[in-house]
Amino acid sequence: MNILGIETSCDETAASVVVDGRLVRSNVISSQIALHRAHGGVVPELAARGQVQAIVPVVQAAIAESGLERRDLDAIAFTHGPGLAGSLIVGVNAAKALGYALDLPLVPVNHLEAHVYANWLRPTMGDDPGEPALPAVCLLVSGGHTEIRLMDADEAGRDTILGRTLDDAAGEAFDKGARLLGLGYPGGPAIQRAAAGGDPAAFDLPRARLGDSLDFSFSGLKTALLRIVEPYRLPAEAAPPDPAALFPKHRPPRFDETLPLADLAASFEQAIVDILAEKTARAALTHGARTVMIAGGVAANRHLRDRLVQGVAKVFSGASMPVPPVRWPEFAFCTDNAAMVAGLGYRLLCAGRTGDLRTDAYPRFPSAHPGAR
């Protein structure tokens, strides 16, 4: 079955055609990063306008690149939450219009579950590792969410949330840290780049362990970073005007050249990655996971991957269970994309979980099933 996926939950407009839930035939993404960079983060109104401009060409390109015709499509899957309301309604309405015109079933998809599902997609290069073995523990780390999920049934929406952030999401912590360091948006890749060659042990930044809990907290880390950089900050008038800054309010901070930027970025990255890896590995052992997965934009982080592999090997070393494989989606399927939406859409369609023309956007979609935390 050929499923067209549409993803418009934030600042990316994406469409993709996936066959039988795993084989990606096309994956088109139009990014608005350049548009939002001047503001230091996503501006919802601009994002919505950008979605309206991009949606038709992106969907057309995804169908054309798949080599299929519109009549070859079997269903349309689309993200209907959570996300920015103005962005979501563009994808929801495009999907409904196309579904009505082509007389195809509509499959609404939860954006977070789609991120997790990215681990089921066949990589476009290299060998197919097959589907992840269950039970699995998945660390979902995006710009808006940070959760550890337990999946013990092969059914979307039945995950149990073992832990989640009490304040900032991991991606948000990267974005805010990058802004404090004047590194720009999006913060994750900027911090990873700035950290190259830096000493991750140079600054002892706080790691909120919260006892035995699998919850996270990143707000203290941000404050600690602010305290360290403050003495290096140049007064606003000493900084030359930034041609990219539209408003003085968004002018990035300037620092004395003695600011140890690489060490700070490396230490900041390490503090986030350590706690994510430590708690995920612990959750995997407690729940006897046969697979450990990462999903969401922060899954693109190389240090997080390395640290999680080490962490899982360490906690399972004395246990009687085999060490579970740690997997993550191919890079293009970590950050927002529509292949993950089309892929999960296929599973939902097979389970009869379809929507109709009344299906709406849910910006604050409740996470996981009602029995979960």
Residue 198 binding target from ligand KG4, Zn ion, none, CB below 5 to 8 Å by type = none
Who's near 27: CB < 8 A, 6+ residues apart? 14, 16, 62, 332, 333, 337, 338, 339
CA 265, CA 189: separation in Å to the nearest integer? 11
Q: Which is nearer to ligand KG4, 191 or 281 (CB)?
A: 191
- x/- mask, ligand KG4, residues 203-242, rule CB under 6 A, reads ----------------------------------------
Tell me the DSSP string of 309-354. Answer: HHHHHHHHTTSSSPPPPEE---GGGTSS-SHHHHHHHHHHHHTT--
**Minimum gap (Å) between residue 115 Cβ and Zn ion:** 6
Using the rule CB under 5 A, is 13 a contact of Zn ion?
no
Nearest to ligand KG4 of 31, 286 (CB atom):
31
Task: Tell which residue, 267, 271, 164, has the closest CA to residue 220.
Answer: 271
Q: 80 in helix, strand or coil? A: strand
Q: Which does 330 bind (CB under 5 to 8 A by kind): Zn ion, ligand KG4, none?
A: none
336 in contact with Zn ion (CB under 5 A): yes
Q: Decide: 198 and 267 in contact? Cβ < 8 Å.
A: yes
**Is 146 a residue that touches ligand KG4 (CB under 6 A)?**
no
* Residue 110, φ and ψ in degrees, nearest 5: -80, 125
Tell me the site size for ligand KG4, rule CB under 6 A. 19
Query: Is position 329 an interface residue for ligand KG4 (rule: CB under 6 A)?
Result: no
- Looking at beta carbons only, is 195 or 214 nearer to ligand KG4? 195
Q: What's the Rg (C-alpha) of the chain?
A: 21
Note whether 140 binds ligand KG4 by CB under 6 A.
no
Q: How far is the CB of 133 from ligand KG4 (least distance, A)?
A: 24
The tokens of 319 are what? Answer: 């246990």
Residue written as token pair 């041609």: 243
Site of interaction with ligand KG4 (CB under 6 A): 10, 142-144, 171, 174-175, 186-189, 192, 296-298, 300-301, 335-336
